[in-house]
Structure 1
Amino acid sequence: MTRLRHRPALDVRVEIRGELPREDAEYARARALETATALGPDAHALRLRLTRSRDRSMARPSLAQAHVELADVGPVRVQLATGTARESVDLVLGTLAGRAVRLREQGDIGFAVAYESAYRPQFADRPLAQRRIARHKAVVLARRTPERAALELLALDRRFHLFEDAVTGRDSLVHRCSPGGGVELCAAAPSLDLAEAARRLWLINRPFVGYTDPGDGRVRVLYRRFDGHYGLIAPVSDGRIGAGTLSALD
C-alpha cells in the first residue's frame, strides 16, 4: 500500500499596523499564502507586516517587511517601502522569493542590495528634542566567522550585524557600506558612553553607530528607527533575554 505524505499546514501570518482598507489586507494575506506555497515544502513560518505611516512628508509611506525560514538556507528577510500597500506587498514578497532562490542556488543575493536601494524605508523627520531610546534589545551573540556574518547580514536585510567572532571570541560588527551596498567589517568600535554615542549618531547623520561601552568593554549599537526614535542593541552573556529579544521582523 502506498502512503501519501501530506505537507503540514502552512504557517503564514500577516500583521497590519495603521489604517488599511479591508480589501488591501485580504490581498496581502492571499499573496503571502501564495508566496509561501510557491517557495516549496522547505519554507516555514512566513511573516508579513504592513505599516502605513501618517507622515505626509514621506514619499513612500507604505512599509512592508517579510520574513521566512528556509530549511536549507535559514532565515531570509526583506524590508521595503513604496507608495501604496499593494505595491509594497508585491515588491517585498517578489523580492523575498527571488532572494530565496538565489540563496538556494548561489549562496548569495547578488546585486539585490543595489537594486533595492531605491525602495529603502525612510526615517521619520522627528525633532531632535523629541527623540528617545524607544527600544532596548538584549541579545546573545551568535558565534560566526566574518564571512558567515556578512552573508547573514544580507540575507536578513539589515544595515548591521553584531556577532561573536568564531576565532577571537570578541564582539564584532559587520555593516553595509553606502551607496554601493557592499559589506565591511568594523575594525575597532570607539569607546563611548551612551550620551556620547547619541551625540555622534546625531552629528554624523548615519543609520547607526557602533561603540564599545567603557563599563563592560562590550560592543553596542545605537541605531535610528523609522519612527524617528532610537534603538539600542546590547549583548548579554547568557540566555536570559526578556522583552528586548531581537525578533524576526524588527
Structure 2
Amino acid sequence: MKSELIRPIQNRRLPLWRYEARRAGWTLLAAPLTALLVGVALALLAANGGSSRDQVGRMLLAGPEVLLPLTTGMAAVSMVARDGCRELQLSLPTRYAVTLGRRLGTLALAGAVCTLLFSAILGLTGLWAGPGPLASTLVWLPPTLWLAALAVLVGILGRSLVVATTVVAVVWLGELLFAAWFAAEGWARPFFLFTTVRFGVDGDWWTNRLALTASGLLIVVVVALLLRRPHQLLTEEEV
C-alpha cells in the first residue's frame, strides 16, 4: 500500500525535473560539456606543438578545474538573472528557493555527469594528471562549487546579469593572472581555485580543497538565507 502511494509522487517529480531542465535551457546545460571540449582542443594544440605528455595531461586537467567553474558559474548566474517569472513564482505555494534549487540542480547534475565521464576516459587512456580515483572529484568540484555559488550570490544581490557575469569573470581571470601571488601568500593559497593545474597535488592540496569546499558551502548558506525573503529579489520592473 505504501509503495502504491509513493509511486504516483515519484511519477510526478520526473516530469517536474524535465520541465525545470527545459526552463534552464539546453544551451546552459551544455556549458559543462563545452568547457571540457575546449580543454581537449587546447590539449590537442599543445600536443601538435610538441608539448610533452605531462604538459598535455595538465592541459586536459584545465578543462574540469579551470574552464568548468567559469562556464558553470556563467550558466548559473544566467538562470538567476534571466528568470522573468519571479513575481508569478512568488504567488505559488512552492517556494522560490525550491524552484531555483531544482533548476540549478539540473545544471549541477549535467556538470557532474560530463566531468565524471571525462575523468574516467582520461584515467583509462593514462592521460589523467590529477590525484587518484578516490580524490579525482576534488579536482573540479570545490572550485566549481565556489565560483558557481559566488555567481548566484552576486546575481541575487545585484539582480543584474551584467554585474554578476563581470564579477565572475574578474575573479576567475584575476586568479589566473595572479597565481604567483596566491602561491607566495600563505593565507591566500587555500582559496586559489586552480591549485591542481598550477601547483600539482602537493602538501597544501588537501587544505586548499577543504577550504574551497567549506567557503563554497558557506556562500550557499548565505544564498539560502537570502532566498527566505524572495520578495526582496524583485526589481522595480517586476514589482
- TM-score class, shorter-chain normalisation, is under 0.3
Highest RCO, 1 vs 2 (Cα 8 Å, sep ≥ 6):
2
Answer 1 or 2: which has greater helix percent.
Answer: 2
TM-score normalized by the length of structure 1? 0.22
TM-score normalized by the length of structure 2? 0.23
